[in-house]
Amino acid sequence: MDKGQPMDKGSPVDSAAAKEGQRRSVAKAITWRIVATSTTMAIVFGFTGKLLLAGGIGPVESLSKILFYYTHERLWSRSSFGKVSDAPRSRHVVAHAGTISEKEREAEDGSRAVTVWFTGLSGSGKTTLAYALERRLFDQDLRSIVLDGENMRLGLCRDLGFDPIERAENVRRTAEVARIANSHGILAICGLISPFRDDRRR
């Protein structure tokens, strides 16, 4: 793919890799549940010699664990223990203000810089819309930058995977770049899957 062409669902970075990760997770969960239930049934049959009893305990054990796991995850989701904090780790970091204020930049440009955030499933057209908007703004002499999810993962976010924590970090980094762009009078157009509601609200 040419570097000058916007990437949408054709790139393997965000779409194919995400789908592959999800498929692997589902496949691993299903196969593990089958193995675990079969093991329980084999143990029960080995101790009792009753095939009917083993066949009945297996499904009960499987359904019980699914219910308990769901309850366990719901309880942990309400706990803040071990969650990644947005607070900076360094205690002695001080923000430095520039000599040009945002109001001065707005007065110079005649407009206020904002962030437009496109979200949706892979292949839904986020990137296409983002670059179309960039073109329209450029034709109106307005400065803008497109922060595409796949492009971000090729550079600033190349060290991130697709688990919930790393997806949240991908969104956080992109939002931070957008914030910096806005503070310099540049409109930011973001196109990310952004699957988690809490991340979109930040």
**Distance, CA of 192 to CA of 171 (rounded, Å):** 8
Chain centre to alpha carbon of residue 150: 12
**Distance, CA of 155 to CA of 169 (rounded, Å):** 14
What one-character-per-residue DSSP string does 109-160 give?
HTS---EEEEE-STTSSHHHHHHHHHHHHHHTT--EEEEEHHHHHHTTTTT-
**Distance, CA of 199 to CA of 165 (rounded, Å):** 10
**Distance, CA of 106 to CA of 108 (rounded, Å):** 5
178: nearest Cα among 97, 109, 118, 106: 118
Residue 80 to residues 72, 84, 137, Cα–Cα distance (Å): 14, 9, 42
Catalytic position from the list 11, 15, 144, 194: 194
Q: Is 194 a catalytic residue?
A: yes
165: nearest Cα among 98, 86, 90: 86
Which sequence positions are flagged as catalytic?
194
